[in-house]
Amino acid sequence: MSDDIGHAKRAMRAELRERRQLLSQTALDAAAAGIKVQLDELVASVGAQSISCFLSTTTEPGTREFVTDAVGRGIRVLLPVTRKDGLLDWAVATPDGDIGEGLFGLPEPVGELLGPIAVNDVDLLIIPAAAVDGTGTRLGWGRGFFDKTLGSMEGCPPVYAVIYDSELLDEVPRDLHDQPVTGVITPTQTITLAPTRR
């Protein structure tokens, strides 16, 4: 990564992180409700029976209610578990699954782990992001877990990043290893930005 791109990414992440920390609880609750509606509609439109999703932190657009409801409807939901080598293990979400604190303080499931290739069987990937631009370029939080995962998949299903409406930007700094997303889910809309990579 060039110094200029790295600096631009760090500056953008810092600004976006600060904006998220200023959101009121009312705004967070409304965003979570909107995200659930959008994700339910996306899962139905794709006809997904098996998906990956993530457990949102306190400042991310909320995904937890969606995950709980999807599991209750019989959808297989894989949740990411970070590893020290930069890869992701996966755990199947359960109705009464315990949640612990993973690497970097992220909420992660506690229980039996599936290896990194488990995600190859899902119909849809729902991933976190700091921002996305109109070309599908995703700005993550700088650790590269999802870029490595997406880059290693042979037949990648649709990939949608969950962001707030204000985080769909005109341009996001991009480096060679950055993997594009198919589209974004915001509290008010689902937008397809790029064709699914196969």
Give the CATH number, domain containing residue 29: 3.40.50.10420
- Residue 167's domain spans which residues? 3-192
Assigned domain for 111 exists: yes
Which residues, in sequence order, are bridge partners of residue 162? Answer: 128, 185
The pLDDT tens digits of the residues spanning 131-182 come to 999 999 999 987 888 988 988 887 889 999 999 999 999 999 988 888 899 9
Give how far the C-alpha of residue 182 lies from the chain's centroid of Cα atoms, to the nearest Å.
12
Number of domains comprising the chain:
1
Structure tokens at 188: 């008010």
Assigned domain for 197 exists: no
Residue 195 has pLDDT above 80, yes or no: no
The pLDDT tens digits of the residues spanning 62-77 come to 999 999 999 999 999 9
Q: CB–CB of 114/92 below 8 Å?
A: yes
Nearby residues of 156 by Cβ (< 8 Å), 6 or more positions away:
125, 150, 196, 197, 198
pTM: 0.93
Average pLDDT score over the chain: 91
Assigned domain for 81 exists: yes
The pLDDT tens digits of the residues spanning 122-143 come to 999 999 999 999 999 999 987 8
Assigned domain for 89 exists: yes
Nearby residues of 41 by Cβ (< 8 Å), 6 or more positions away:
190
Q: Do the bridges between strand 76-82 and strand 50-52 make them parallel or antiparallel, or are there none, so unpaired?
A: parallel
What is the structure's pLDDT at 151?
87
Per-residue pLDDT, averaged over 175-195, amounts to: 89
